[in-house]
Structure 1
Amino acid sequence: MIRRAISLVVIVWLLGFAAFAVTLPRPLGPMKTDAIIVPTGGPGRIETGLERLEAGDARRMLITGVNRDVKPSELAAEYNRPVAVFDCCVSLGFDASDTRSNALEVSRWLVRRKYKSIRLVTADWHMRRARYELERVLPADVRIYDDGVRSTPSLATLWKEYNKYVLRRLGAVLGL
């Protein structure tokens, strides 16, 4: 009986992983929101956020999880953008160090500005966990739109992220 239960859990876990791996979120395309949110940590995220900002899809952008030593002028140079774009429209968040603290930093930033819709720009494989953490801390009336940055994650990256996501959801159910 116990072996069957364990086997069932393993089968469900593996089927969940398969579904997770083959249904990665896609790029959103043009759509207006109040803000663009970009957690640091992967290629293509900041570039995509800046492209959407410059296309007029949002008024402001927050890059969360930025190293305290980074200056807007350095990002402008790195991403070949005028410093004026960063001065007017991009906020840098220095208080986050992981996905959960990114969500807390984003929540404080959004509530101060009374924004009600965001475009979340992160790697396709990271989107589900990033969104889940945001949903846990944002006011219920804030709408989140996924803008997955396409990547080619390894099987190991997908497996690790899937397990983080599932374990985080289980931890939340248990009050952790």
Structure 2
Amino acid sequence: MSAAQVRPRRRPVLGVLLLAAGLAFGSGFVWFAHDALQPPGKPGQADGIVALTGGSGRIEVALSLLASGHAGRLLISGVNPSLDLARLAYASGLHVPAGVASGAISLGHAATTTTGNAEEAAAWARANKLHSLIVVTAGYHMRRALIEIGAALPGVRLAADPVLPPALLRPASFGTLRLLLTEYLKWLAVEIGHAATHPREIV
């Protein structure tokens, strides 16, 4: 059989593979978008809370969790190096709840990426001997954050408390869909990159 006779048979197989890949990608995106839009559940109790800066509502939610006794310590990761807690609160219009000791709140100034957040959280958790964390970030960012932090802290239990930012209040808008697609691609890249890391416990 000549090469010219074999080649046409490969085209239907390639088409099926491309269709399957497209369906898998599309289905994954629908799942990711639905997951990102879910309201927060009940994070329960943990040793510490990690809030990742970069979006509205995250620090407020983390402070509320700390004030209500969900954990005894809070790390706010990715804070501008020029800001201490008082200046951060003033610049962001935040109010530290009464009864929360300033010593219970730590600021991380080194992180500028999600990987940096994970490294900052890992160093803080090890220094304070924490074995469980509540992670606070936007819903669209949560899956990637959990992978990164889980890889940096194998064996530490992670609980998600996602924030629904204003950007997701109109899920069918072009801007929101573009944001979700961008985050979906970032999550896929990180998921593939960390496929061989140690198992992590995520609840």
Q: TM-score, with normalisation over the residues of structure 2?
A: 0.79
CA contact (8 A) 1:100 1:133 kept: yes
Secondary structure, counterpart of 2:140 in structure 1: coil
Return 38-47 or 72-81, whichever deviates more: 72-81
- The CA RMSD measured in Å over matched residues stands at 2.1
Aligned to 1:144: 158
User: Structure 2 vs 1, CA of residues 14 and 82 (structure 1 numbering), >3 Å: closer, same or farther?
Assistant: closer
Shift of 1:57: 1.1
The reply to whether residue 71 of structure 1 matches residue 84 of structure 2 is yes
TM superposition shift of 1:26: 3.2
- 2:110 counterpart of 1:95: yes
Verify: 1:32 aligned to 2:45, yes or no: yes
SS at match of 2:194: helix
Contact 1:39–1:45 (CA under 8 A) maintained in structure 2 = yes
CA drift of 1:36 comes to 0.6
Structure 1 residue 125 and structure 2 residue 137: aligned? no
Cα contact 1:73–1:83 (8 A) shared by 2? no
Bigger Rg, which one: 2
Render the CA deviation track for 1:37-93: whole Å, top value 9, x for unaligned.
001001110000001111111111000111101111112333022698462211000
Matched, 1:54 2:67: yes
Query: What corresponds to 1:171 in structure 2?
Result: 193
Match of 1:14 among 13, 16, 26: 26
1:144–1:70 Cα change, 3 Å? same
CA contact 2:43–2:159 (8 Å) conserved in 1: no
Q: Which runs of 5+ in 1 are unaligned?
A: none
Aligned partner letter, 1:148 = P
Counterpart in 2 of 1:23? 35
Secondary structure at the aligned position of 2:135 is classed as: strand
1:30: Cα distance to partner? 6.1
Pair 1:107-2:122 in alignment: yes
- Indicate conservation of the 8 Å contact 1:72/1:86, yes or no: no
Partners of 1:76 and 1:83 within 8 A in 2: no
